[in-house]
Amino acid sequence: MKQPLTLHPDRLFPAEPQTRAVARKLYEQVKDLPIISPHGHVPPVWIADDIPFKNATDLLLTPDHYVNRILHGQGVDLADLGVPVGRTDFTEEQAREAWRIFSSHYELFRGTPMKYWMEMELVDIFGIDQRPSAENADEIYDTINAKLATDAFKPRALLDQFNISFLATTDDPLDDLEHHATLAADDSVATTIVPTFRPDKYLEAGRDGWNDLIDALGEKSGENTDTFAGWVAAMENRRQFFKSMGAVSSDHAHMDLGTQPLPADEAEAVYARARRGEASAQETDALRRTFMFEMARMASEDGLVMTLHPAVARNHHQATFDRFGADVGGDIPVAFETVESLRPMLNAFGTNPNFRVILFGQDETVYSREVGPLAGFYPSVYVGPPWWFIDAPDAIMRWRSSVTEYGTFYKTTGFVDDTRAFMSIPARHDLARRIDSAYLANLVVQHRLEIDEAEDLATQFVVDLPKKAFNLEV
């Protein structure tokens, strides 16, 4: 039953031999280039404090809802995988048992990017040479844990090994960014690590706890957040702080992309009602869209790039949310619209050379219908990479195919891993580099691109475009 585990050098490349040869050539050119990760969710404390990883389950299973959800979808109890993250009652024996559960269901990952990431991690990082199975679960678990106990597997050592030149984290506007300060002050950290401004919950006046957040925002910023104008000033203040700490972008996820601002006096009135807890759902939505317009206005002034990724029904299954909290796999995308929603923002700032917005999305229908045309016309609009569930070989191919013909090669951002799964970062970037090489190779063999053009693009995708899209100086 023991199956070897190897990484084929031609994996993800097209089968047709001429095309494969071109893909291989393009990939060779970019495979060892440093990783730029301008949008992700690795906790900065891991690196600042160089906290060792605990065990294979704690590292690779418990926090990874991509992996968890597949097992849950076949009836595995998330609690048996250690969910939620940070549980103190999850014993070492339970962690080992979780790895056994994962290993004995390994066939469920066939056809998924999770399999690609996991296998690259197992082989390249941990030197595993067998496919996970019920039989070898303990053996692999022990091998991984033994390595994790060594210095070479602490976050900072891995950061070097992974050749990550730039890493952005995601942070609360009220965060003091102490870990970023630590890292910036430490010359031994070669990677540039910067925060990202993620203000979503401060814009959602219809949610529980908003008023307390706004009180705290006022306190932290020294602005009076009893008025809409005060909210704006407080946000400007916090953005400036983030900018001073190296932030290059802000990150925004709401149910729609609306940016229609209320007239100034109405904004103040609705804000006041919201602070008193008296605003209707319609009013808090209108207020959120007004806040978004203000965010765009600030971005056009301070130059933080906006990343927008709307329209996910979070925590779809209430009982799972009640038991485990957020981010455990119950988030389901829904359809969304960009053209009318973004019109107010783009009419105000769309041709402003200091403004930039990157559109992600899980609703693939908007790519060819809306995002390609918008990015083709507006200098400020960039096509975000296939995000979240669709960060996968076929989906990336569909995405490239949907937007490229609008002339958007140079309006894409390079790959964004968007992950908290630190170990998977090299694998995710490797997957993207391979698929991009395959995509370009297809164009070359169909004589839609010359080879020199493809070679130039392959490097642009990895080096130049992330720098351009996110205003990086690395």
* Site membership for its own copies, residue 26 (CB under 8 A): no
Note whether 150 binds its own copies by CB under 8 A: no
- Classify the C-alpha dihedral 275-280-283-287 as positive or negative: positive
Find the part of the chain contacting its own copies (CB under 8 A) among 24-32, 163-171, 278-286, 329-337: 329-337
**Distance between CA atoms of residues 17 and 429, nearest Å:** 24
Least distance (Å) between residue 14 CB and its own copies: 7
359 and 382 Cβ atoms separated by less than 8 Å: yes
Strand 381-383 to 312-313 pairing:
unpaired
Is 19 a residue that touches its own copies (CB under 8 A)? Answer: yes
Among 278, 326, 334, 354, binds its own copies (CB under 8 A): 334
Contact letters for its own copies, residues 368-407 (x by CB under 8 A): xxx-xxxxxxxx-x-------xx-xxxx--x--xx-xxxx
Q: How far is the CB of 365 from its own copies (least distance, A)?
A: 5
Q: Does position 461 bind its own copies by CB under 8 A?
A: no
State the virtual CA torsion across 351, 355, 361, 365 in degrees, nearest 10. 0
Q: Does 322 bind its own copies (CB under 8 A)?
A: no
Give dist(CA 70, CA 75) in Å, integer: 9
- From candidates 257, 445, 462, 465, binder to its own copies by CB under 8 A: 445
Site for its own copies in 414-443 (CB under 8 A): 442-443
Name the minimum Å distance from CB 214 to its own copies. 29
Tell whether residue 85 is a contact of its own copies (CB under 8 A).
no
Per CB under 8 A, 313 contacts its own copies: yes
Kindly indicate which of the ranges 28-36, 243-251, 341-349, 416-424 contains the residues binding its own copies, using the contact rule CB under 8 A: 341-349
Indicate whether 261 belongs to the interface with its own copies (CB under 8 A): no
Tokens representing 184 are 């910036």
Binding part of the chain for its own copies, among 71-79, 145-153, 159-167, 287-295 by CB under 8 A, reads 71-79
Taking the complex as a whole, the smallest distance from the CB of residue 446 to its own copies amounts, in Å, to 6
Q: Minimum distance from CB of 388 to its own copies (Å)?
A: 9
**Is 114 one of the binding residues for its own copies (CB under 8 A)?**
yes
CA distance 367 to 57: 37
Residue 152 sits in the site that holds its own copies (CB under 8 A): no
State the minimum distance, in angstroms, from the CB of residue 195 to its own copies.
Answer: 28
For position 314 contacting its own copies by CB under 8 A, the verdict is: no
Q: In this chain, which of 152, 224, 340, 354 binds its own copies, going by CB under 8 A?
A: 340
Q: Is 14 in the site for its own copies (CB under 8 A)?
A: yes
Residue count, binding to its own copies (CB under 8 A): 95
Asked whether the beta carbons of 39 and 418 are under 8 A apart, the reply is yes
- Bond preceding residue 155 cis, omega within 30 of 0: no
Quick one: 187 or 322, whose CB is closer to its own copies?
A: 322
Contact status: 281 vs its own copies (CB under 8 A): no
